[in-house]
Amino acid sequence: MDFSLPTAIPVLARTPAVLATLLDGLPDPWIHGTDGPETWSPFDVVGHLIHGERTDWIPRVEHLLAHGDAVPFPVFDRFAQFEASRGRTIHELLRTFTELRAVSLRRLEELALTPADLDRPGRHPDLGPVTLRQLLATWVVHDLDHIAQIARSMGRQHADAVGPWREYLRIIREA
């Protein structure tokens, strides 16, 4: 499927509700369980999504529109959530993410991007040349990637408990 804002926005708009339905009110072992060392829990992922709303997606859209490919995007700290989320509950994080995503989507709508805007070039600090279309498509896939990451992390909490059914459950078989 080619990228278009009308097909992307419904996915971006649903992500907070998907996460709230999946995570809000669950016992802590579901929220803080990981796949193992150096992996993120659902709590960590939601914190990361909040940080992205604040410093990545719309800020990069605006940066690209203002500077094109003349000035690379500011570097994104992929680990800022660990400090920023400390002492908060999953409920608080989900509420914050929901509020921030609504603001991001309103801002995206206010920009009234044209097809020509979507083809405008920008510069990623590590990846090099990108377009606004690629940035926005990545935002959608980034959401879906983290939803899958959360589901995988949760599934792996019962990896040993499923016994011989493990062979049928790709979510816990694949590393």
- pLDDT tens per residue, range 81-104: 988 899 999 999 999 999 999 999
Mean pLDDT, to the nearest integer, of 114-135?
97
* Short-list 132, 111, 12, 9, CA closest to 67: 132
CA 136, distance to chain mean position in Å, is 12
**Residue ranges making up the domain that contains 80:** 5-173
Q: Which residue has the higher pLDDT, 52 or 175?
A: 52
What Rg, from alpha-carbon coordinates, does the chain have? 18
Q: Domains in the chain: how many in total?
A: 1
Find, among 59, 62, 18, 63, the residue nearest to 42 by Cα. Answer: 18
pLDDT band (50, 70, 90) for residue 50: very high
Q: What is the average pLDDT value for the chain, to the nearest integer?
A: 95
Q: What is the 3-state secondary structure (H, E, C) of 42-67?
A: HHHHHHHHHHHHHHCHHHHHHHHHHH
Residue 174 has pLDDT above 70, yes or no: no
CATH of the domain at 24: 1.20.120.450
- What percent of the chain stands above pLDDT 70? 99
The C-alpha atoms of residue 108 and residue 8 are separated, in whole angstroms, by 11
Return contacts of 15-18, CB within 8 angstroms, 24+ apart.
Answer: 15/49, 15/101, 15/143, 15/147, 16/94, 16/97, 16/98, 16/101, 16/102, 17/98, 18/147
Q: What is the pTM of this model?
A: 0.94
C-alpha 150/C-alpha 130 separation (Å) is 28
Confidence check: pLDDT of 70 > 60: yes
Residue 84 has what pLDDT? Answer: 86
Q: Is the pLDDT score of 173 beyond 90?
A: no
Classify residue 166 by its DSSP letter: G
Question: Is the per-residue pLDDT at 175 higher than 60?
Answer: no
The answer on pLDDT for 159 being more than 80 is yes
